[in-house]
Amino acid sequence: MAVVNGCNIPEDLLYDVDPDANAFTWAKDNGDGTFTIGLTSVAAAMAGRLVAYTPKKVGKTVDRRKSVATIESGKWVGPVPSPLTGEIVEINEALKGNPALANDDPYGAGWIAKIKPSNPEEVNQLLKGQSAVDALTKVINEKGIKCG
């Protein structure tokens, strides 16, 4: 796993990184037709410690880069842009009770939603491996982000 300025970047995940779209998310193929999506450690550090997580409803279809949930910290309220178009099949109930899980364990217990993609080709637009690390490193350096 790459670590840049204290920010973990697991190399086995897929990433959607685009500062103009406020997209700093990850996706993981669950092998059953669904993908788990979440905030990167970079996004969690930028937002600050979360105090609220308001997901869209299960069953709703969201377009790529459209909001799958609204998150709130003391200094930032905004959408989590879905890295993939698809139907929301599950939301993270644990995150409702403890939104800061997205800060403490962004790639694990702090996941945001599970999506059933309707446009599989979009998966190819996501970054992986070194190209994902490079894109997030650029964001970390340009914005002076430190994790932890």
Q: Which is nearer to other proteins, 113 or 126 (CB)?
A: 113
Q: Which is nearer to other proteins, 13 or 80 (CB)?
A: 80
The residues that touch other proteins, with contacts defined as CB under 8 A, are 51-54, 57, 67, 70, 72, 74-79, 96
Q: Which is nearer to other proteins, 10 or 78 (CB)?
A: 78
Instruction: State in angstroms the smallest separation of the CB of 133 from other proteins.
Output: 26
CB 38 within 8 A of CB 107: yes
What is the C-alpha radius of gyration for the chain, rounded to an integer number of angstroms? 14
23 CB-side CA count, 13 A: 24
How far apart, in whole angstroms, are the C-alpha atoms of residue 130 and residue 128?
6
Joined tokens for residue 57: 């409803």
Q: Which is nearer to other proteins, 12 or 75 (CB)?
A: 75
How far apart, in whole angstroms, are the C-alpha atoms of residue 145 and residue 137?
10
The SS3 of residue 96 is: helix
